[in-house]
Amino acid sequence: MKNVFITGGSSGIGADTVKMFAEHGYNVAFTYNTNKDGAANVVSTASRQGVKVIAFQADLSREALTKKAVEFAVQELGRIDILVNNAGGYFDGDEWDGSENVWSRTIFQNLISVMNVSKYVLPLFEDQQSGVIVNVASRLGMSGSYEELAYGAAKAGVINITQGYADFLAPYGRANSVSPGAVQAGYWNAAPQDELDVVLKSKRLQKLATSKDVANAIFYLATDLSSSTTGQNLVVNDS
């Protein structure tokens, strides 16, 4: 039985990813930042699969707390076989003329957090000569937007550092990223219909991806289903 460490697992893509791995017989340790009730619900639901599921509160933009989270996961699970860096978020004021405070917070929550977690997991993978990383980036990291300036820049960084991790882990391990487009969650669940219509018309499939669609992509890249795939960025939902 393999063990997975997932960041940001209390809602949305992270929650569905925790549940998917549990359904397939993986033990899961996941982090959350502020959503304690959501984390408890995910633990309760995923644990019904007969696997070990634990949650740990941590602000992963802070290195000391990140180190404790990784140590907790190893202590509880014994080892980490797969790392899914999913934690992150968008903050109002991220436009081209936004505040330095928002830009800095966005970069730390979406890019530095990934680097912090990987910094403490990569040596574990090196010692055991096996391990897989899947980083959750964004379609905005490939195209950019003046309305989500720092977020797009951070996610572009996530795609970039994934290449570095793939080089570091080769030949015994792998690293890939997933870049979701608009997902049927969060903002898009409450978006004005006229705005949603514009987005849907731009998509070949005329629909938004679900968080479970993204979890499927993460599971594919994290498991032996993609054993010969590394250093790649998989887009979920077009444009």
Give tens-digit pLDDT for 9-67.
Answer: 999 999 999 999 999 999 999 999 999 999 999 999 999 999 999 999 999 999 999 99
Confidence of residue 93 (pLDDT cuts 50, 70, 90): confident
Packing angle of the helix pair 149-169, 100-107 (nearest 10 deg): 30
Domain extent, residue 15, equals 3-182+211-236
126 domain residue, yes or no: yes
Task: Report the SS3 class of residue 210.
Answer: coil
101 domain residue, yes or no: yes
226 domain residue, yes or no: yes
Give tens-digit pLDDT for 29-42.
Answer: 999 999 999 999 99
- Residue 110 sits in a domain whose CATH number is 3.40.50.720
Confidence of residue 91 (pLDDT cuts 50, 70, 90): confident
191 domain residue, yes or no: no
Question: Measured between alpha carbons, how far is 161 from 224 in angstroms, rounded to an integer?
Answer: 22
DSSP classification of residue 209: B
What Cα–Cα distance (Å) separates residue 117 from each residue in 52, 85, 93, 232? Answer: 21, 8, 26, 20
204 domain residue, yes or no: no
Identity of the amino acid at 66: T
Give tens-digit pLDDT for 162-216.
Answer: 999 999 999 999 999 999 987 877 666 777 888 877 878 887 887 888 999 999 9
